[in-house]
Amino acid sequence: MEKISLGYSPCPNDTFIFYALAHKKIEMDVEFSQILRDVETLNKMAFNKELDVTKASFNAFGFLREDYCLLHSGSALGRGCGPLIVAKEKIQYTELSRKSIAIPGKMTTAYLLLRLFNPEIKNIVEMPFDRIMNAVSLGTVDAGLIIHESRFTYPSYNLVKLVDLGEWWEEETGLPIPLGGIFAKRKLGTAAIRKIDRFIKKSIDYAYRNPGQAREYIKNNAQELDDDVIDQHIRLYVNDYTLEIGDGVIAVEKLLKTAGELNLIPHSDKPVFID
């Protein structure tokens, strides 16, 4: 049986998506070895070509496009789901470029959006996404760029929202915000990539039809264990675009084109998909 290395994050949307595949709830002729890491670690592993199939940020994809292609299923893309800039108190836009801002990694789409939003912001501090709110709350940094379930829990740290970068992107482009996708090594070949794509779509469909089955797996891996937060997270980041990205690829291409024109990612003629 063919063996494929598969990387995805421990966040509820990913564990929801991959539960059936990881637990062999669907019929497959491929054996997947799962590696669960935060998205920035997965980005770096993809840079080193360590994973056959992996979740990665669309920012990272801008650098990986020669070796990886986007799958049609599994993407995190939508409206009202973008990263936020938060702080202990209100900071004026004109002052933001002079403040220190914690980011969840330079290859995250969140950081790319921050650069597009305000190119003058230079004083950044990289740290794991789950440490950012605490760092802001303690005053270690002036502000934080938060992602994932932090979107729902930052008020409990007595933090205030300064900017919703997803909202900004939507107003600027009229398009949903593409955060991350599932990518496969091009060298796997078209037939294998299409098959893997089908398995992921079946895994998502299984999770939708059997929502209670994945709960323990999701909670065992989540940073935030509150059921309401987990459910909000899944509803926000798993949607129709996750089953099939469809015309959502227009948003992906727009993001890559904009970043490329500003020399934030390298130019590539490789198509987004294998086909």
Known catalytic residues are: 148
CA dist 51 and 192 (Å) reads 15
Q: Give whole-number Cα distances, 96 to 21, 35, 131, 187, 217, in Å.
A: 43, 37, 20, 43, 39
CA dist 16 and 219 (Å) reads 10
Task: Report the SS3 class of residue 125.
Answer: strand
CA dist 44 and 56 (Å) reads 9
Q: Are 6 and 56 in contact (CB under 8 A)?
A: no
Could you tell me if residue 157 is left (phi over 0), alpha (psi between -120 and 50 degrees) or otherwise beta?
A: alpha
Burial of 152 (0-12, 13-18, 19+ CB in 10 A): middle
CA dist 263 and 187 (Å) reads 27
One DSSP character per residue, 80-110 reads: S---EEEESS---HHHHTTS-EEES-TTSHH
CB atoms within 10 A of CB 92: 7
